[in-house]
Structure 1
C-alpha cells in the first residue's frame, strides 16, 4: 500500500476558504477518482515561524499503479484548480510513502 502525502502550509487570510474547499470539493473529487480507498487530513502540531497553519493530507492507495494513474489522469487538473484558487497562499510539498507493516493494539 502507498500513502501519497501532501503537506500544506495555509496562510491565515484564506484558511477558512481553503478548509471548506478541501472538505466540500477537493477531497470528494479525489475520492470519486477511485484511485484511493481512504483519505485523512490531519493538522501538524507545530508553531510555524512564518505563520499559517500546516496540514498533512494522506491519500491511501492500494498500489503504486493506482497512484501513477491518479498522477496521469487527475492530478494536473486538480493541482491547477488549487493554484488558481489560492496561489502562493498555500505552500505545499509532496511525499510518497510505502506501508511496510501496520501494528495495532488488541
Structure 2
C-alpha cells in the first residue's frame, strides 16, 4: 500500500520569500528525520489575490511512517512554523491512501 500525507499551506505574499527558504530547509530535515520514502512540493493554482498555496506531499509505504510523523515530529514543525510566521501561513493536513494507480508506458 502507498500513503500520502498532504499538508496544504496558504501563504501571504508578504512572507512568501521567507517561507520558501523555510520550506526548503524543512523538506530536507523532515525527510532525514522521518520514515517517509519521498517528498513532493506542488504549487496549487488559486485565484486569491495576496496569497499563494502549496501542497507538501510526504510519501510512505506504510501507516507506521505516518503515525511516527504525527506523534513525534509534526507538533514541533507546526510550532516552529507558527513562531516564524504566525497566522500569515495557515496549514491543514490530509491523509491519503492510494487505492489504484495507472501509468502509461
Q: Same fold by TM (over 0.5)?
A: yes
For residue 70 of structure 1, report the CA deviation from its aligned partner: 1.1
Give the number of aligned pairs: 104
Whole-Å separation in 2 of the counterparts to 1:70 and 1:98: 16
Match for residue 11 of structure 2?
A: 10
Match for residue 91 of structure 1?
A: 90
Match for residue 81 of structure 1?
A: 80
Q: Structure 2: where are the runs of 5+ without partners?
A: none
Structure (1/2) with the larger helix percentage: 2
Whole-Å separation in 2 of the counterparts to 1:72 and 1:95: 15
After TM superposition, the score normalised by the length of structure 1 is: 0.92
After TM superposition, the score normalised by the length of structure 2 is: 0.93
Match for residue 37 of structure 1?
A: 37
Q: Structure 1: where are the runs of 5+ without partners?
A: none
Secondary structure in 2 aligned to 1:3? strand
